[in-house]
Chain A
Amino acid sequence: QSVLTQPPSASGTPGQRVTISCSGPSFNIESSTVNWYQQFPGTAPKLLIYNNNRRPSGVPDRFSGSKSGTSASLAISGLQSEDEADYYCAAWDGSLRAFGGGTKLTVL
C-alpha cells in the first residue's frame, strides 16, 4: 500500500476540467518534487509532469500540475476522449521514490 493517496477513479465529460489529487505525509510531497505519469492499457507509462508543474516536450498544455503543502494535483482542462487512462503521481516516500495507487480517468 502506497503512502501516496490518490482517488481510485475520476470522470468527466468532453471539454470539462478534471483534477486528480495526490496526498501524503509531509516527508514526501511537501519535501520533494512530484511527478505524474499517464498509462494506457497494455502500454508503458509515459511522463506527463515533472518537478511539480513542468511538462515534457510534446505534452499538451491542457495538462498541468501543482503542489501545495502535503498535496499535489494534476489538472486536465478541455477533457478529450483520448485522455481516458490511468494516472499516477510519484514522490519521495522516505527511503526511495514511490508511486501513488493510481487513478482511473473515465471520459463520459
Chain B
Amino acid sequence: EVQLVQSGAEVRKPGESLRISCEVSGYSFTTHWIGWVRQMPGKGLEWMGIIYPFDSDTRYSPSFLGQVTLSVDKSITTAYLQWNSLKTSDTAMYYCARLVGSYYQGWFDSWGQGTLVTVSS
C-alpha cells in the first residue's frame, strides 16, 4: 500500500526556518515525482513544486521559486519542504503527494495527511 506520512504541525515565528517531511512507503521511492501543495486557510489548492527523488531534479511553480526548497533523502525515503525565513503568509496546510506519470501530464494519486504550519509573532 502506498503511504505518505507527513510530520506534525509546527508553530514558528516570522523569520525562523523550518523543514517539514513526508515519509514514503509502499513503492520504489525513486521512480515517481513527489509534489508539494499549499492550501492557505479557507483557500484553494496551489501547486508549489515537484522533485524527482532519483536525481533530485526539481521544478518550482513561479510563485514559489526562491521561497521554498524541496529536497529528498533517498536513504530514508523521505521528501522535505524547507523555508529559510518564514513569513506570516506562509501559514497554511501543506500536503505532499505522489505524482504518477510525467511532470507535464501526471496526476497526484496518493496524498499525505497534511502538515499545518502556523507562523505568528
State whether the Cβ of B114 lies closer than 8 Å to any Cβ in chain A. yes
State whether the Cβ of A98 lies closer than 8 Å to any Cβ in chain B. yes
- CB contacts (< 8 Å) of B109 on chain A: these are 47, 50, 56
Query: Do A47 and B46 have beta carbons less than 8 Å apart?
Result: no
**Distance of A93 from chain B, by nearest CB (Å):** 8
Query: Do A96 and B59 have beta carbons less than 8 Å apart?
Result: yes
- CB contacts (< 8 Å) of B114 on chain A: these are 44
Total contacting residues, chain A, CB less than 8 A: 26
Q: Which of A12-20, A30-38, A73-81 contacts B (4 or more CB under 8 A)?
A: A30-38
- CB contacts (< 8 Å) of B112 on chain A: these are 44
- CB contacts (< 8 Å) of A100 on chain B: these are 44
Query: Do B111 and A44 have beta carbons less than 8 Å apart?
Result: yes
Query: Do B105 and A46 have beta carbons less than 8 Å apart?
Result: no
State whether the Cβ of B83 lies closer than 8 Å to any Cβ in chain A. no
- CB contacts (< 8 Å) of A37 on chain B: these are 45, 108
B47, B49, B61, B113: the one contacting A90 at CB < 8 Å is B47
* Highest count of chain B CB atoms <10 Å: which of A37, A50, A96: A96
Given the known interface contacts A44-B111, A45-B111, A46-B111, the answer about A98 and B105 at a Cβ–Cβ threshold of 8 Å is: no
State whether the Cβ of A63 lies closer than 8 Å to any Cβ in chain B. no
Residue numbers of A with Cβ under 8 A of B are 2, 32-33, 35, 37, 39, 44-47, 50-51, 56, 86, 88, 90, 92-93, 95-102
